[in-house]
Amino acid sequence: MNFLKRFSVLSVMMLVAVTMMAQELPKVYILATGGTIAGSGSSATKSNYSAGQVAIGTLLDAVPAINDVAYVEGEQVVNIGSQDMSDDVWLVLAKRVNELIASQKVNGIVITHGTDTMEETAFFLSLVTDSNIPIVLVGAMRPSTAISADGPVNLYNAVVTAASPASMGRGVLVCMNGKVYGAADVTKTNTTSVETFQSPNSGALGYIHNGEVFYYHAPDRVGRKFVDHVHEGTLFNEVRTPYFNIDGLKSLPKVGIAYGYSSVEGDVVDMMIDKHYKGIVYAGVGNGNIHKNVFPELEKARKDGIIVVRSSRVPTGATTLDAEVDDNKYEFVASWGLNPQKARILLMLALTKTDDWKTIQKYFNNY
């Protein structure tokens, strides 16, 4: 065998070996949507940059170690700053996630996303997907061109998390700054720090160390199992984590958020009534309390058939049922542990099934 022949036989053998190794690794599919992780700036040290500039292939090329963890493929769904996230993009993204789940060809899914609305997309996906495989959202606080860009390590950790059997059955996850959080509880708490994501009421679910994910606990709200719990003498026995089938949906009902503050007036609520919103979330003060200037407008909204959900602008704790506000009397719904932006999502999806406020309250009782 001359040198050339021997060389080509060797190359074919190496290619076969590499392909076999790749096939043994878990398959992780990446859906890219943009954000700062795909951002680029003109300076490595200054904070001005544009989100959603760099394609997923370039991000992956920056982290070759990912190929030791999983066989990774991916596609660009959109390339936007997540401040521009919309119900339309959510529906496209969620349908694609559901296709990948149905194909049974992937062990995990990673979604690269801007951090501004990551918690909303994670929560939306947690309500419209029904699978045990890990679905992991990841982003970055610093653009890819910055010194100490956090995107590469976050992306690596997200792939580790999505590829790990330990992540199965934990619902939709957010993986940022070395920690893993559950979709219902996680929120962005700092405008610029890499340590921005927290679950203030329940803490992180786990962490990643040296290419391995470790869990402290499972998110309580995952599993759609029947769970008994008693609150103020009432026994709640319901399926946890509601699931909404979005297959035939082309749009979501219009739901808005009105923010509570001292001297607030009812103008925003009036506008929502005039514009035929189907639901209003009131981001109240304290335990979802409503200013006397706004209360009559919210009562009017309810009488017009609009579902009114009380949530809170306070970052921790739950907005509890029948506290200072008699929800039963006014037919208002309490958001429990959901912040206003997540309450809006559950209300939109609930309204695709029912406009009965008592049934909608039951969905919220799961949080």
Q: Are the beta carbons of 131 and 100 closer than 8 angstroms?
A: no
Output the CA–CA distances (angstroms, integers) from residue 93 to 22, 78, 113, 289, in the order listed. Answer: 26, 9, 11, 35
Closest approach of Cβ 118 to ligand SIN, in Å?
7
Measured from the CB atom, the residue of 146 and 222 that comes closer to ligand SIN is 146
Measured from the CB atom, the residue of 196 and 287 that comes closer to ligand SIN is 196
Give the pairing of strands 226-231 and 206-209: unpaired
Helix ranges (DSSP H) in 139-182: 151-163
- The one-character DSSP state at 252 is -
Closest approach of Cβ 192 to ligand SIN, in Å?
9
Could you tell me which residues come within 8 angstroms of residue 29 by beta carbon, excluding any fewer than 6 positions away?
72, 73, 74, 100, 106, 108, 109, 110
Q: Which residues of 146-161 are buried (b: 16+ CB within 10 A; e: fewer)?
A: beebbbbbbbbbbbbb
Closest approach of Cβ 145 to ligand SIN, in Å?
14
Q: Report the interface residues with ligand SIN, using CB under 6 A.
A: 35-36, 51, 81-83, 114-116, 139, 141
Q: Are the beta carbons of 360 and 333 closer than 8 angstroms?
A: yes
Closest approach of Cβ 198 to ligand SIN, in Å?
15
Measured from the CB atom, the residue of 81 and 266 that comes closer to ligand SIN is 81
Measured from the CB atom, the residue of 117 and 164 that comes closer to ligand SIN is 117
Residue 134 burial (CB < 10 Å; 0-12/13-18/19+)?
A: buried
* 115 given a catalytic annotation: no
Closest approach of Cβ 36 to ligand SIN, in Å?
3
Measured from the CB atom, the residue of 143 and 171 that comes closer to ligand SIN is 143
The amino acid sitting at 136 is V
Measured from the CB atom, the residue of 173 and 360 that comes closer to ligand SIN is 173
Measured from the CB atom, the residue of 26 and 139 that comes closer to ligand SIN is 139
Closest approach of Cβ 84 to ligand SIN, in Å?
8
Dihedral of the alpha carbons of 37, 86, 91, 356, in degrees to the nearest 10 = 130
Tokens standing for 91? Answer: 């529906």
At residue 187, φ and ψ (nearest 5 deg) are -150, 155
Closest approach of Cβ 93 to ligand SIN, in Å?
14
Among 19, 33, 36, 234, the active-site one is 36
Q: From CA 243, how far away is CA 261, in angstroms rounded?
A: 34
Q: Are the beta carbons of 208 and 242 closer than 8 angstroms?
A: no
**Catalytic positions, please?**
36
